Amino acid sequence: MNADLLDLPIIDLVSPMPGFPDKRQFVLVRLDENGLLYSLRSVDDADLRFLVMPPSPFFPDYAPEIDDEAAEMLGSPKPEDLMVLLVVTAGDSAAHATANLLAPIVIDRGNRRGMQTVLSGSGLPVRAELAIAG
């Protein structure tokens, strides 16, 4: 584990991110002072990071419904205890970055268990363009 990650709370993924079956422990590192961008970094592999963000600055009406199976895997948290993050794909410029609305990362703030869940049947895009709400 990197020394700079020692003081950060570890998030245990109850289901690994696709393509990374043996990576289940991550920390959330703020990348900017406004809290718009974060890095979800693997505790075991310093090179494994996912760029993530809270949905509200860009998608204020985004309110995913977490199915019962996902809620049970997380420990049946109360809705207000859930943190929802979107995986961001960086483009060649900020104007070309997209967010995955179909498969958010959901974290129970109480027990720090998380997972990426697919919102089946929602019709939400995998690559939604980012535009500041307001």
Beta-carbon contacts of residue 46 (< 8 Å; ≥ 6 apart): 2
Fold exhibited by the domain 3-129: BH3618-like (2.30.290)
What is the mean pLDDT of the segment spanning 82-90?
95
Average confidence (pLDDT) over 41-51? 95
Q: How confident is the model at residue 2 (pLDDT cuts 50, 70, 90)?
A: very low
Domain ranges of the chain: 3-129
Q: What local confidence, expressed as pLDDT, does residue 5 receive?
A: 47
59 pLDDT higher than 90: yes
pTM here is: 0.89
d(CA 73, CA 107): 11
| Mean pLDDT, all residues of the chain | 89
Q: Flag whether pLDDT at 62 surpasses 90.
A: yes
